[in-house]
Structure 1
């Protein structure tokens, strides 16, 4: 076996990756900088057996050694720490304690005219729909797409695999057509949103990682994360 599947974690990121055991630690750091945002010179990489076990099995301390030298195994964790976060701002992007929370009372929200609530009231959607219309509406079909399952979304480009994780299954308010929609969080920024549309949130992910598609475009299965080939861009 020359390729291992591992989890890469840092203060701001978490992803599943595959690496060749012939890579040197220095080459690995170049790839991890693109993923974690931590400069090569600031990276300290520890190997853990799992995310729950915080004890380091070993540390990738020799940049000239290949990954195979450290006995890296499938599904271990590469924990990337920033040795100088004050310069790179690592960890501050996910620290919401430093952000002043905006709060709006129920009364003030009800008085605004640009909200989802007002849209539903004007268009008699959801709980504001006439009771007779609600009684006539057909039950939604069962969709066998479990939330949290790995999937691949159909693409017009044969060589492009749009893979991700199912985050939402159900009806939405953003489309004129009725029926079920599937919300997917892509592994790479190939989406159109962050899990919300027109101010209504259905799930949460990073901007441009989320998308909503019809169930017939989603294939559920054991689809591992594919690493983008950035070699041409690094030459």
Structure 2
């Protein structure tokens, strides 16, 4: 039979499976590498639980088997170091460790810090400002990858609402800078018939055509769906 026993010491707390037929001396030898306390310096006390302050027994006779002390499942064996000069317990006491402190000025002078890395590689707040949008017509995007005659869905100002149709035109126009997408809607939700300001870009029925920016268009296998009007297009 093997018992589940909690073993605690100044630096450890763990569950161990212990044979009650071994002697106290044999147990101390097993606990030495676990607790860091020499077997000859160990003082073992048996408790019913971690919160119990009244000991059940002192395991003081090295020749006795553990079963002699009535060891039961989930009891606690507390291991203390009888050596007054031992460092046991001090290794886990961080209050005795001197705290290293560095002023902001000293930290800024170091070259092996996160701050120095960010400064060197221009990361975060040290990154150069983004250039303003170009007003040069020659630098404005004039092509996008939106296939003609593909089904599409167009975003609307109304949240959760979209318009569906077919892409009929993709490219620059005379009425606005950059790329525009001409869409023939499934329903009369547009603003034109494919022409704007006397210039024709594609042909469709009146009020079925509209021109929108590419970022508002999603291409996909969208079925025909009845939608409402919107004032977003040109």
TM-score (structure 2 length as normaliser): 0.47
Indicate the structure whose relative CO is greater, using CA pairs within 8 Å and at least 6 residues apart: 1
Task: Indicate the structure (1 or 2) with the bigger Cα radius of gyration.
Answer: 2
Tell me which protein shows more helix as a share of its residues.
Answer: 1
TM-score (structure 1 length as normaliser): 0.47
